[in-house]
Amino acid sequence: MKHIANPHTPSPASLSGPSLRYKAPPTIAAFMASAAFYRGLMGPVGSGKSSACCVELLRRAGRQAPGPDGVRRSRFAIVRNTYRELRDTTVRTWLHWFAEDTYGSFAWTDLAHRLRLPHADGGTVDAEVLFRALDRPQDVKKLLSLELTGAWFNEAREMPLSIIEAMGDRVERYPAARDGGCTWAGVIMDTNPPDADHWWHNLAEEARPEHWAFFRQPGGVVELPAGPGEPPRFAPNPQAENLENLPPGFYQKRISGKGAGHVRVYYCARYGFVQEGRPVYPEFDETRHVAATEPLAASELPLLVGLDFGLTPAAVLGQRMPDGRWVILDELVATDMGMLRFASALKELLAGRYPGLSPRIAGDPAGTARAQTDERTPFDILRAAGLDARPASTNDPLLRREAVASALAREVDGRPGLIVSPRCRVLIKGMAGAWNHRRVQLAGEARFADTPDKNRYSHVCEAAQYLLAGACELRRFLGQDERPRPRQSRALNGQTDDRHANDDGGHRSR
């Protein structure tokens, strides 16, 4: 197997074998040259990520140390989240590069490919490649019992981090030292951009742990600046990679008819999500309703809190400005947490970030129901923790939604009636469409479920509803907000009138 130097990288990253020539673009060349144990490659559709990973495995196989018999042995696992995608995409990409008529028959029953190739030193490269999916529990168990040289996770954003970390324990186990040992071992990954709250984003952009390296290819297109109210515009990116292997106008043809979220993720290679279903808040515009920087709490205004209960409790903290605008300051989102622990976490958040402010808490009225274990309600638990929480005035889903929607649609002196701190990442994603009405699978016209899906984003979004519905926003929506402006002004001077600080929540001074 002969290596041809690539001018884009300080170490050889181009490969020539039987009917095979490959030249790595700059980002892929850096990815191939990296010595990190875990390596990730992220880029847009058509950037050559999967092809690069195919070539990288065979390149590493050719560099394994030979055993006493001159054979360079290696064994790799190639993993995808489902068998359908494994067979329809990953295997096809692999066989595009390593065709059966040149590299040997592919075992379709076992989903394996054995490649035995001559090496330039006169020896032999013996590479065993196993294709596996993770859509059945027994597949995961078998995967984690393998002894491998290395592994590749194709479209890694669909994989749980725990599986990828566990795979690290299965590589560097083949070949044995008596057969040359592992010259290289590791886990490589490729993906289109995931959400900003995905483990990939956390590791690549925030945690940046040792022995992990992430490489991000330029987008095929870039988003142009747009004025207020103007639709998003995109243009070809002169820095895009792999264009020589794509049809002319590849990205421009595919932009037409696509939503901006789809274009940003799949063509601009930006973190984000592609909206599915009908959003609960079509009024929400991330460019308009998300603050550029984290707003500070006003010490002279009440701090209002909305709560949603259950084993996925959530809290949203905000303030209503004297001119009627809403500022959402913070969120607290938990998973598999009971109310005792959540009350403690909320109290710690309030004391740590908002000292000196007395919270006014409005929660899901369903929280008045007693638990079967100790007969205490969530409101009882909150009060026992020193948090004076009361039920919001309504649990009507339509009224709750409209309380938030009316604030989103409102403008006050040219500014949006509701802004959200960038600190509230889960709430922002939920309002941007991750909380939605699921599309009903019917032929013909698109139809959607009557009620929004319950998911990890619904709880924090409903907490925001209780926040606004528990204050005066619901009265305003119903045309009942007749509070004179001077009362708000007095509240700013330290003379809080508790009768009006949270009209619908039932809060009164004692």
Which pLDDT value is given to residue 494?
Answer: 39
Chain region(s) in the chain for CATH 3.40.50.300: 2-216
Q: Which of 181, 154, 183, 180 is nearest to 167 (CA)?
A: 154
What's the CA gap between 358 and 354, in Å, rounded?
Answer: 9
Angle at 82 between CA 435 and CA 58, to 5 degrees: 125
Which pLDDT value is given to residue 282?
Answer: 87
Secondary structure (DSSP) of 477-503: HTT-----HHHHHHHHTT---HHHHTG
* Residues whose CB falls within 8 Å of the CB of residue 414, separated by 6 or more in sequence, listed in order: none
What tokens does 101 get? 């008529």
What's the CA gap between 92 and 61, in Å, rounded?
Answer: 20
Amino acid at the residue 259: G
Which pLDDT value is given to residue 29?
Answer: 96
User: DSSP alpha helices (H): ranges in 121-208?
Assistant: 137-143, 161-167, 199-201
Chain region(s) in the chain for CATH 3.30.420.280: 286-505
Which pLDDT value is given to residue 475?
Answer: 59
Which pLDDT value is given to residue 139?
Answer: 72
Look up tokens 């002196």; give the residue: 413
Which pLDDT value is given to residue 19?
Answer: 55
Which pLDDT value is given to residue 455?
Answer: 87
What's the CA gap between 262 and 272, in Å, rounded?
Answer: 9
CA distances from 37 to 88, 172, 256, 292 (A): 28, 10, 40, 36
What's the CA gap between 88 and 146, in Å, rounded?
Answer: 24
Q: Which of 507, 417, 427 is nearest to 470 (CA)?
A: 507
Backbone φ and ψ of 416, nearest 5°: -65, 150
Contact, 123 vs 62, CB < 8 A?
no
Q: Convert 218-236 into a string of H (helix), E (strand) and C (coil).
A: CCCEEEECCCCCCCCEEEE
Q: Which of 423, 504, 429 is nearest to 461 (CA)?
A: 429
Contact, 42 vs 216, CB < 8 A?
yes
Task: Please give the CATH topology (third level) of the domain spanning 286-505.
Answer: Nucleotidyltransferase; domain 5 (3.30.420)
Cα radius of gyration rounded to whole Å, the chain = 28
User: DSSP alpha helices (H): ranges in 358-481?
Assistant: 378-384, 397-409, 425-429, 458-469, 473-477
What tokens does 17 get? 């074998």
Q: Which residues pair with 278 in a beta bridge?
A: 437
What's the CA gap between 5 and 113, in Å, rounded?
Answer: 27
Amino acid at the residue 505: G
Q: Are strands 112-118 and 150-154 parallel, antiparallel or unpaired?
A: unpaired
What's the CA gap between 124 and 115, in Å, rounded?
Answer: 10
The Cβ-side half-sphere exposure at 191, using a 13 Å CA radius, reads: 27
Q: What's the chain's length in residues?
A: 510
What's the CA gap between 27 and 364, in Å, rounded?
Answer: 50
Amino acid at the residue 66: P
What's the CA gap between 24 and 19, in Å, rounded?
Answer: 17
Q: Torsion-angle region of residue 34: left (phi > 0), alpha (psi -120 to 50) or beta?
A: beta
Task: Please give the CATH topology (third level) of the domain spanning 2-216.
Answer: Rossmann fold (3.40.50)
Q: Spell out the per-residue pLDDT of the chain, length 510, in tens.
A: 333 334 333 333 334 456 578 889 999 999 999 999 999 999 999 999 999 999 999 999 999 999 999 999 999 999 999 999 999 999 999 999 999 998 999 999 999 999 999 988 889 999 999 999 987 767 777 777 899 999 999 999 999 998 999 999 999 999 999 999 999 999 999 999 998 889 999 999 999 999 999 999 999 999 998 766 678 889 999 999 999 999 999 999 999 888 888 899 999 999 987 666 788 888 898 888 999 999 999 999 999 999 999 888 999 999 999 998 999 999 999 988 988 999 999 999 999 999 989 899 999 888 777 654 467 889 999 999 999 899 988 888 888 899 999 999 999 998 999 999 999 999 998 998 888 887 665 545 556 677 887 888 999 999 999 999 866 665 555 555 544 444 443 333 333 333 333 443 333 333
- pTM score, whole prediction: 0.69
Which pLDDT value is given to residue 252?
Answer: 92
H helix or E strand, kind and range, residue 93 = helix 91-97
Amino acid at the residue 382: L
